[in-house]
Amino acid sequence: MSSNSKSKAQEHFKRNLSSRQQRFRAADLVAGVLNGDRNALSTALTLLESSLPEHRTIANEILTGILPHTGKSLRIGITGVPGVGKSTFIEAFAKEVFTHSNHKIAVLSVDPSSPLSKGSILGDKTRMNELSVHPRAFVRPSPSATQLGGVARNTRESILLCEAAGFDLILVETVGVGQSEVAVHGMTDFFLLLMLAGAGDQLQGIKRGIMELTDAMVITKADSGNEQAATRAKGEYASALHLFPERTGGWVPKVFVTSALQANGLSDVWEELKSFQHWAISSNYLHDLRAKQNIHGFHEYIGLLLNEQVQRNQRYQEVLKHYLSQLEENQLTPFAAAELFLSEMFKSN
């Protein structure tokens, strides 16, 4: 039996689970996840990422079951241009944390690019080899969803599953394609921007607006003769950050210089994260931030779902195309086009 027909048979089997079986399976997986069982966690994540409605139904039941046991981690978003050394930093940083604490670390990725185009997933898998076999780590490569909205939703809910499984430090890495940094910023507590020393040209890859989302900047690869440039860059970024307006809640972002190779500066980053967590909880910042993120996510998903509805319906697609071309030819104002489009959509319901 080829692996292809085997997986088809599996799908057929799964499709035909009765709703009683589904409920049983969901309860089973909830118990497994809450017990910290990695297989249960992996299965739950796979169901979450699946595009089959039957899988989503089970995933939704699992989510409802684990929700009361979520929220206790520190959620850290990590971004930086390709080549900045994200995976290397994450691996070295996790090792540092494991040495000084009992934390359990989960690493998730948001990568809206196709797995065929860049090979970044395979790259990550290779590079995080050491971390992924650590008993207190869980590394989940990016799902291959094509839509950022879908990826963002999956990742948001993956965070919850990892929390329920006992991971109390969640690192969400983004490769920085499209709007992925903004999406990751919207589902994490602390946003870490990794930077290379020798600014200027290197910076071109960081998109506008990202620096201002940053809770801390980390200059990587301060080794092998690169130390002076890193220290200089630290000064430059620190004064640039100084020019930015104050963060909501009053948190002041700092710049750190690190070397994953020599394990330098990583403990400073870890201390900073701990003091952030302490401050964020005691000042109620974390509570307010997450409530805001939930409500923002709710509104975002409404847009996403409406969008899906339009994309699945051929007539909607044609109507949309019509109004967009009228817009392009300056025959309608954006508002008039929106009004006409909506009246068409609601008419047919």
Query: Which of 68, 116, 117, 224 touches a second copy by CB under 8 A?
Result: 68
Query: Does the protein bind a second copy through residue 247 (CB under 8 A)?
Result: yes
Q: Least distance (Å) from a second copy to the CB of residue 65?
A: 12
Q: Which CB sits closer to a second copy, 13 or 346?
A: 346
Query: Does the protein bind a second copy through residue 18 (CB under 8 A)?
Result: no
Which string of b and e fits 307-318 if b means at least 16 CB within 10 Å?
eeeeeeeeebee
Query: Does the protein bind a second copy through residue 198 (CB under 8 A)?
Result: no
Three-class SS state of 38: helix
Query: Does the protein bind a second copy through residue 203 (CB under 8 A)?
Result: yes
Q: Least distance (Å) from a second copy to the CB of residue 124?
A: 24
Tell me the two tokens of residue 96: 């540092």
Query: Which of 9, 27, 31, 67 touches a second copy by CB under 8 A?
Result: 67
> With contact defined as beta carbons under 8 Å apart, do 78 and 171 qualify?
yes
Q: Which CB sits closer to a second copy, 289 or 327?
A: 327
Query: Which of 123, 300, 316, 322 touches a second copy by CB under 8 A?
Result: 300
Query: Does the protein bind a second copy through residue 271 (CB under 8 A)?
Result: no
Task: State the first-to-last Cα distance of the chain, in angstroms, to the nearest integer.
Answer: 46
Query: Which of 10, 35, 294, 311 touches a second copy by CB under 8 A?
Result: 294
Select from 118-126, 130-138, 166-174, 242-250 the region that touches a second copy (CB under 8 A): 242-250
Q: DSSP 3-state helix, strand, coil percentages of the chain (rounded to 5)? A: 60, 10, 25
Q: Which CB sits closer to a second copy, 101 or 202?
A: 202
Residue labelled with tokens 């609601």: 346
Nearest to 49 by CA among 157, 124, 139, 137: 157
Query: Does the protein bind a second copy through residue 297 (CB under 8 A)?
Result: yes
Query: Does the protein bind a second copy through residue 156 (CB under 8 A)?
Result: yes
Ordered alpha helix ranges (H), 50-172: 53-66, 86-100, 115-118, 120-127, 129-132, 148-164
Query: Does the protein bind a second copy through residue 303 (CB under 8 A)?
Result: yes
Query: Does the protein bind a second copy through residue 64 (CB under 8 A)?
Result: yes
Please tell me the count of residues contacting a second copy according to CB under 8 A.
65
Q: Rounded distance, CA 337 to CA 250, Å? A: 42
Q: Which CB sits closer to a second copy, 16 or 330?
A: 330
E runs forming strands in the chain = 74-79, 105-110, 137-139, 169-174, 190-196, 216-220, 254-257
In sequence order, what are the residues at sequence separation of 6 or more whose Cβ sits closer than 8 angstroms to the Cβ of residue 226? Answer: 197, 198
Query: Does the protein bind a second copy through residue 238 (CB under 8 A)?
Result: no
Q: Least distance (Å) from a second copy to the CB of residue 86?
A: 18
Query: Does the protein bind a second copy through residue 333 (CB under 8 A)?
Result: yes
Q: Rounded distance, CA 262 to CA 131, Å? A: 17
Query: Does the protein bind a second copy through residue 252 (CB under 8 A)?
Result: no
Query: Does the protein bind a second copy through residue 250 (CB under 8 A)?
Result: no
Select from 34-42, 82-90, 154-162, 219-227 the region that touches a second copy (CB under 8 A): 154-162
Identify the burial level of 227 via C-beta atoms within 10 angstroms of its C-beta, where 0-12 means exposed, 13-18 middle and 19 or more buried: middle
Cα 288 to Cα 22, 208, 247, 284: the distances in Å are: 35, 26, 14, 6
Tell me the two tokens of residue 223: 């080794």
Query: Does the protein bind a second copy through residue 58 (CB under 8 A)?
Result: no
What is the binding site for a second copy (CB under 8 A)?
60, 63-64, 67-68, 70-71, 153, 156-157, 160, 199-200, 203-209, 211-213, 236-237, 239-240, 242-247, 291, 294-306, 323-324, 327-328, 330-339, 341-342, 346, 349
